[in-house]
Copies of this chain bind each other. A is one copy, B any other.
């Protein structure tokens, strides 16, 4: 036979994944729009962990069949959970944190040292942490919260847990506004919760947790022309960076907290929870 001489090996390799890589994911439907793979993978690598956060696309009708299988992947240590799976996921957990209990939803789940799955709702944590880091005092304050959807529930319960004195709610959907009102009333009897629009002179903090103003810098979630200078204004919307509400607040001289600050805070808190849980028994995991 005429044997051709060997060519050098063509097998190239990448340096961002190998047999030791620990897996995390963000579970959602749809999935293409998520940014968690880029940002939380970056944060885990910054901390020296050989890990990757994957987009995991699971359709709502398949979630209950998929999750038990996912949990059997021995090198999968945790999942960020997004729309529309946050409620359903709680049925698969061995232990949930207080904010998951109150909201009936979890945004992050992690495997504990004793191979249990523990979850908590962190969606309000980024908002509250961003304000606390900026020196906004929340204990004893009166917060006017616009939006009682998923983000509103998470933010309201986190605010209540942080010790605000009073929360006034505004949401055009009366049913979910009533539901949030009842949840806060039940879990935080010391917090005054109201569905009546307050005078802006009474409030300390105004938070937009509705989607009004998202991708549209001309819209504003509340019919106001002016905000008292002493009110701190936060908008949970990240796109645009400077919403119409933030712009108005800044024109009025108010201190403002941007949606992107919420994201920064959340990446740190979520990474802490994912990594710390690995070394703790489920019963010993502390919720932030």
Contacts and interface: CB of A to CB of B under 8 A. Distances in A.
A5 to B, nearest CB: 8
A117 interface: no
A3 B249 CA distance: 14
B18 A37 contact: yes
Given A6-B258, A12-B46, A14-B38, A66 B72 contact: yes
Contacts of A75: 31, 55-57
Nearest to A2: B135
A74 interface: yes
A272 to B, nearest CB: 14
Contacts of A56: 23, 73, 75
A26 B13 CA distance: 15
Contacts of A46: 12
Contacts of A222: none
Main secondary structure on chain A at its contact with chain B? loop
A21 interface: yes
A164 to B, nearest CB: 13
Interface stretch (A143-151, A153-161, A260-268): A260-268
Interface of A: 1-4, 6-7, 9-21, 23, 29, 31-35, 37-39, 41-43, 45-46, 52-59, 62, 65-70, 72-75, 133-137, 204, 232, 255-258, 260-261, 263-264, 267
Given A6-B257, A69-B69, 12 more contacts: A1-B232, A3-B134, A6-B258, A9-B264, A11-B267, A13-B42, A14-B41, A16-B16, A21-B37, A57-B75, A62-B74, A70-B73
